[in-house]
């Protein structure tokens, strides 16, 4: 509808020079005031109808562009939400923010301009040439030469600036990244007095962005003077030849004015067309960048079953049985028991979670973050995971809910490879407390219900009490209706962690993962929290990631990681006696007397 009404507007506009020529040749030449007034009224009518068509076209173009922009944003956001951690890490948050904001806006603007001008501008240009031939065929060659010269100028400038607009968008990604990092890390920057360094880095990158924009702008700035010069030379030629032909009677004064008007229309529309093509080229660049994101698929969702079968084959080649339900493998048993021996009762219940020769690496996976990890966790077990910084503790527990897929080996849930299960069903059985307490700008109740939408207030209060967060209900106004700010800025670090623990407990999961969830808690609160979690020991398998020996010492099994390898697995006492890495950690956190007492206990 928008191009249709724009073409109707263009038709009325093409008639204007003819009416003006008639007004000059008939009305003014004869001194007929009534004829002049009638033609003036006709001009007003053409202007009014053209205005109505223009407004209608603008309405439809804006509606279509806004609708398409909304659809692209919705689809892009939905697609991003389906991507895995691996893809998000590779793309980067800054790029995603630019794609869903700046690039979508450019596409929407380009569509709006396209619908309004793509049909109108060529229609006016070629229509003016045709109308000029109908007015005076002898002046037609001047129009053809002028249009050719203008096309060379316009498209030459266009193709000269297009590569720089792509550089502008890439530089904008970098500026967005720096801005995001500076705003999110402003406390660290101020604490270390790095404001000037950040300013210099930002000004440097922003300067590159400005330089690209200025260079493209300088080239684009040549368009108006060059096109105006070409058109003015064309008008001089028309007036020169027109004056001679008017003098000999081959051309009327009104026809000469009509030809000049048509030439001005060509100038205006070619400039509009050039700006349109620039907008479209930028929109196409942005659309290409958006499509790059849309083309990225979640590696965990594509051919999941085939990938599982392939990795199981790899596990067999590494010495692990390919049968998913075979839990009696000598390799698995050996990996799960230390030389000193751990609980390996054949009459025990089957494991809920089992790692079989699991290896994992980020990105291409060439550099392994985890290597040959094998252990079992039964229902009701508490599994402690401890190790130095960068040893792979968080990575290990992130593999359980399939935030990432294993590179080699397999993870079994109730005897079945987790890659063969529906990922939503898998995660519905798991409660996670991440290292960074992620809270949203909504009420405390809504934050707690993120994992359990159907939970009533009684269940939420019980979860808050078990997470040692009940005091928040009295300290903060409104109780469960208390409004949490973005990222929980109106809560302390310990309060944020306890709320996230309560959020995980509210869904009553089968598997609870606490990824360094008590790092901001004092020892007394941490101790009360661990005691309250014991009530779930009969039905919940708990994974506790921590650097504190006190947080994991009472666990049924403790896994010690060192540079991605499992240095030992067993109870606190067994590891003190048989795992040098664990003993070293204990000696840095406990007194010598406490270590000796635990050894002899």
Look at residue 346 in the predicted model and tell me its pLDDT.
37
Nearest to residue 476, comparing CAs of 450, 505, 447?
A: 447
Are 230 and 85 members of one domain? yes
Domain coverage including residue 401: 304-429+509-600
* Residue 38 forms part of a structural domain: no
pTM: 0.67
What whole-number distance in Å separates Cα of residue 526 and Cα of residue 528?
A: 6
* Residue 11 forms part of a structural domain: no
Are 363 and 328 members of one domain? yes
* Residue 34 forms part of a structural domain: no
The pLDDT-based confidence of 301 (bands split at 50, 70, 90) is low
Whether 585 shows a pLDDT value over 70: the answer reads: yes
Domain containing residue 87: CATH number: 1.20.1560.10
What whole-number distance in Å separates Cα of residue 166 and Cα of residue 509?
A: 48
* Residue 27 forms part of a structural domain: no
Are 86 and 150 members of one domain? yes
Contacts of 219-226 spanning 24+ positions with Cβ under 8 A: 219/157, 219/160, 219/161, 219/164, 220/157, 220/161, 220/278, 222/157, 223/153, 223/154, 223/157, 223/271, 223/274, 224/271, 226/153, 226/157
The pLDDT-based confidence of 374 (bands split at 50, 70, 90) is very high
What whole-number distance in Å separates Cα of residue 562 and Cα of residue 564?
A: 5
Whether 192 shows a pLDDT value over 80: the answer reads: yes
Look at residue 366 in the predicted model and tell me its pLDDT.
66
Choose the weakest-confidence range: 62-76, 108-122, 307-321, 545-559. Answer: 307-321
Total structural domains within the chain: 3
Whether 341 shows a pLDDT value over 60: the answer reads: no
Are 215 and 359 members of one domain? no
Tell me the average pLDDT across 296-308. 57
Tell me the average pLDDT across 422-440. 86
Are 85 and 181 members of one domain? yes
Are 403 and 527 members of one domain? yes
Whether 331 shows a pLDDT value over 50: the answer reads: no
Whether 303 shows a pLDDT value over 70: the answer reads: no
The pLDDT-based confidence of 223 (bands split at 50, 70, 90) is confident
Are 264 and 317 members of one domain? no
Domain containing residue 458: CATH number: 3.40.50.300
Look at residue 533 in the predicted model and tell me its pLDDT.
83
Are 154 and 213 members of one domain? yes
Residue that is last in its domain, among 460, 491, 508? 508
What whole-number distance in Å separates Cα of residue 466 and Cα of residue 46?
A: 77
* pLDDT tens digit sequence for 445-456: 898 998 888 888
Average predicted confidence (pLDDT) for the chain: 82
Are 369 and 382 members of one domain? yes
Whether 217 shows a pLDDT value over 90: the answer reads: no
* Residue 50 forms part of a structural domain: no
Tell me the average pLDDT across 132-152. 81
Tell me the average pLDDT across 138-144. 80
Tally: H helices and E strands in the chain: 25, 10
Look at residue 96 in the predicted model and tell me its pLDDT.
87
Most confident of 63-67, 251-255, 451-455: 63-67
User: What is the sign of the dihedral through the CA atoms of 266, 272, 278 and 279?
Assistant: negative
Tell me the average pLDDT across 29-36. 83
Look at residue 72 in the predicted model and tell me its pLDDT.
93
Are 384 and 316 members of one domain? yes
* Residue 152 forms part of a structural domain: yes
350 Rama sector, left if φ>0, alpha if ψ -120 to 50, beta otherwise: beta
Are 309 and 282 members of one domain? no
Are 489 and 544 members of one domain? no
Choose the weakest-confidence range: 314-318, 382-386, 489-493. Answer: 314-318
Percent of the chain residues past pLDDT 70, beyond the cut: 91
Whether 66 shows a pLDDT value over 90: the answer reads: yes
* Residue 448 forms part of a structural domain: yes
Whether 327 shows a pLDDT value over 50: the answer reads: no
* Residue 495 forms part of a structural domain: yes
Residue that is last in its domain, among 468, 490, 508? 508
Residue that is last in its domain, among 474, 508, 542? 508
């Amino acid at each position: 509808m928008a191009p249709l009404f724009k073409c109707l507007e263009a038709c009325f506009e093409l008639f204007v020079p003819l009416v003006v020529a008639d007004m000059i040749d008939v009305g003014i030449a004869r001194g007929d005031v009534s004829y002049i007034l009638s033609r003036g009224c006709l001009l007003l009518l053409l202007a009014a109808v053209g205005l109505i068509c223009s407004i209608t076209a603008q309405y439809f173009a804006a509606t279509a562009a806004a609708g398409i922009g909304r659809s692209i944003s919705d689809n892009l956001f939905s697609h991003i939400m389906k991507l895995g951690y691996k893809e998000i890490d590779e793309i980067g948050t800054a790029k995603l923010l630019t794609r869903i904001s700046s690039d979508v806006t450019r596409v929407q603007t380009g569509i709006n301009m396209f619908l309004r001008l793509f049909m109108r501008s060529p229609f006016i240009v070629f229509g003016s040439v045709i109308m000029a031939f109908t007015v005076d065929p002898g002046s037609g060659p001047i129009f053809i030469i002028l249009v050719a010269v203008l096309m060379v100028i316009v498209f030459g400038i266009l193709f000269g600036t297009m590569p720089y607009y792509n550089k502008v968008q890439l530089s904008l990604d970098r500026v967005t990244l720096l801005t995001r990092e500076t705003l999110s890390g402003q406390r660290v920057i101020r604490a270390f007095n790095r404001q000037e360094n950040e300013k210099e880095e930002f000004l440097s990158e922003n300067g590159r962005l400005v330089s690209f924009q200025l260079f493209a702008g300088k080239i684009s700035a040549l368009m108006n003077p060059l096109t105006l010069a070409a058109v003015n030379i064309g008008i001089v030629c028309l007036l020169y030849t027109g004056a001679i032909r008017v003098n000999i009677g081959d051309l009327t004064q009104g026809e000469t004015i009509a030809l000049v008007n048509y030439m001005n229309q060509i100038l205006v529309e070619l400039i509009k067309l050039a700006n349109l093509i620039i907008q479209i080229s930028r929109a196409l660049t942005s659309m290409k960048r958006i499509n790059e994101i849309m083309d990225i698929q979640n590696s965990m969702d594509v051919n999941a079953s085939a990938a599982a079968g392939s990795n199981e084959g790899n596990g067999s080649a590494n010495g692990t049985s390919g049968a998913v339900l075979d839990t009696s493998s000598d390799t698995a048993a050996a990996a799960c028991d230390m030389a000193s021996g751990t609980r390996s009762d054949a009459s025990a219940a089957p494991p809920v979670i089992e790692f079989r020769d699991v290896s994992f690496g980020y990105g291409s996976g060439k550099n392994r973050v985890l290597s040959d990890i094998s252990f079992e966790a039964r229902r009701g077990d508490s599994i402690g995971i401890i190790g130095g910084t960068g040893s792979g503790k968080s990575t290990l527990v992130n593999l359980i809910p399939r935030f990432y897929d294993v590179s080699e080996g397999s993870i079994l849930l109730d005897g079945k490879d987790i890659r063969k299960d529906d990922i939503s069903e898998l995660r519905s059985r798991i409660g996670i407390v991440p290292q960074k307490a992620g809270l949203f700008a909504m009420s405390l109740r809504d934050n707690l219900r993120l994992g359990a939408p159907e939970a009533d207030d009684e269940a939420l209060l019980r979860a808050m009490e078990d997470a040692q967060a009940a005091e928040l209900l009295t300290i903060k106004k409104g109780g469960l209706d208390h409004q949490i700010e973005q990222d929980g800025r109106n809560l302390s670090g310990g309060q944020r962690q306890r709320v996230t623990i309560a959020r995980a407990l509210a869904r009553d999961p089968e598997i609870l993962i606490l990824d360094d969830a008590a790092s901001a808690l004092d020892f007394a609160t941490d101790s009360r929290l661990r005691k309250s979690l014991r009530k779930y020991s009969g039905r919940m398998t708990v994974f506790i990631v921590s650097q504190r020996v006190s947080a994991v010492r009472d666990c049924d099994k403790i896994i010690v990681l060192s540079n991605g390898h499992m240095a030992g697995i067993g109870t606190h006492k067994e590891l003190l006696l048989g795992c040098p890495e664990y003993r070293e950690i204990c000696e840095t956190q406990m007194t010598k007397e406490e270590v000796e007492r635990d050894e002899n206990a």
